Structure 1
Amino acid sequence: MGRQCTVCGHKDVEEINKLLLCSDSYRDIARQFGLSKDALARHKESHMPELLLKSQEVKETLQADNLLDQIVYYESEARRFKGLAESQGDLELALKAVDRALKCLDLFAKARGIISDQPQVNILVLPEWIALRTAIIQSLRPYPDALEALRDALR
């Protein structure tokens, strides 16, 4: 029977797997968790599911989670600095810390899709859509079944 994979047996195997998916540096991961670069390479090659490695969606999700974690961390740091500034009577610094915390919350909400700063366009009121819709309906008048199917689809 072969030896157990040192990465699979590591207490932080989930974090290591995430880093292997999102990072190119075996050396940094090996140093952080006390493993060898060769063990990481063997683990990634032999023990991580092939589909997981190929999944760009998983990589993007892990990177987004990491970004959200960082936003939450910096928001808590801004709150901490606010408390320090208040305890020292430095109201200007406290207000700056509040501003930074609010910016973190705004960024978090945008990253999660809770709020959006993208412009909203209602095509139903655009003159181009009204003209196109009118032209389509007029051209389908000789074909009542097609006109009714179009009207149903537009509803």
Structure 2
Amino acid sequence: MAAPVPAIATHPDRAQIEIGLANGVSLRGLSKRYGLDPAQLSRYRKSHMSDELILRLRVRGLQSDEELGKIREIESKSLLDHLTYQRSRLYTVADRAASIKHDEAEIRAIEAAGRASERIGRLLGELGATSITNNNVQINLMQSPEWHNIRTEIVQALKPHPAAWQSVIKALERIEQVDHPRLLEGVRVA
């Protein structure tokens, strides 16, 4: 029987957790920041992080501020993509639950999508995305926390009109799948 996969291995902030572990960030600090048990973090570092990985992830004193900035940019974009994908999947779950009139499941999925939107908003705030003044900025509406509110309101407003609701759900799913077509293949509305 295969050993269970540690929660950290599938955690959305895995890269940041591993970087913190490799650089000696306190287990208590990592525990509070990512909602994990300190013992779990310690076991993960000892059992799942090779010495080579730890050396590659050590950033203090080994890389310039410019290199560290680039690493942060790459990791932040990866996290943003993951959160956007996760939120899209949660919307699909909410739409399916609504189509079979399972209100409790729909509410849970919408609440989870809202939490993903909040995390996206915090990440965008940390990246300073709200203060970009470049004239060539490309805005991805689906990554903005406001999109969650707009989408939820539209879907709720159309519930009394099943045919229109179904058409809008299909259109939203087509639009939301553009960012991750390989990951969402085969997803369809009933």
Task: Flag the structure with larger Rg.
Answer: 1
TM-score when scaled to structure 2? 0.32
TM-score when scaled to structure 1? 0.38
